[in-house]
Homo-oligomer: A and B are copies of this chain.
Amino acid sequence: MSELRLLALASPDEVTPGHDLVTMFLEALQRANDDLHTRDLVVVTSKIVAKAEGRVVSFDGTEEHKLALVEQESVRVLRRRGSLRITETPHGFINANAGVDLSNTAEHTAVLLPLDPDRSARRFRAEVARRTGVDVAVLVTDTFGRVWRQGVTDVALGAAGLRPLLDLRGTHDAHGRLLEATEVAIADEIAGAANLVLHKAAGTPFALVRGLDESFFGEGSVSENLVRRRRDDLFR
């Protein structure tokens, strides 16, 4: 029987540019009296990645400054309503306000998205492997809205060691017929699942996911596998 477990890992660390997130993670794991297993997956929230990578800018607290930052972080604005902007970022993400983050940031600062979250995930993964000898997968996650449903969910911005899109095309159903349209965005489903155990206001920037199917692991990136290209987009 397939069982999946998700565990939140808390840390007292304040993350500043240059902070060693792998040490922070391994210490959090140790405090939880746990250790790493092959095919564990580590979820790292995008905010601490951005802070550690120095993607922090000063922010004067005004609406004008916020909108200027959003503009600067966007390649395109799709919609405007009040102070909300639906934007396309240089990564190809479509989200609110280009991911410019004004909560849980140091006074007078804003946190931007990591420049290359796939690379951030790959580096975190390689460093975990170097320090522990264990091969884990890594997701860098953030909170996005959806077009046609209320509320936000966490999605993957970066991935390493995981196939973000699980291709079930060619799989047969219980009646022997081919399954339709079934490339499952498992990276986003894992990101959302992890958000169920994270209590961001309370300082839990990591989640450990254990029990994912072997077939989920492999090569891929959010940039290549999850970002929809403009030519395939029916609504841009």
Residues of chain A at the chain B interface (Cβ within 8 Å) = 1-10, 32, 79, 81, 86, 93-94, 96, 102-107, 143, 145-155, 164-166, 168, 171-175, 177-186, 188-190, 192-193, 195-197, 199-204, 211-213, 225-228, 232-236
Copy total for this chain: 2
**9 pairs from A and B in contact (CB 8 Å cutoff):** A1-B32, A2-B204, A5-B5, A104-B174, A147-B148, A151-B164, A151-B186, A152-B183, A196-B213
**Cα of A165 to Cα of B226 in the assembled complex, Å:** 25
B193 with A174: CB separation less than 8 A: no
A144 to chain B, nearest CB (A): 9
B8 with A147: CB separation less than 8 A: no
**Cα of A68 to Cα of B155 in the assembled complex, Å:** 35
**Cα of A5 to Cα of B2 in the assembled complex, Å:** 11
Choose from B150, B168, B228 the contact partner of A150 (Cβ within 8 Å).
B228
B184 with A189: CB separation less than 8 A: no
Given A189-B195, A193-B196 in contact, is the A150-B165 Cβ separation under 8 Å?
yes
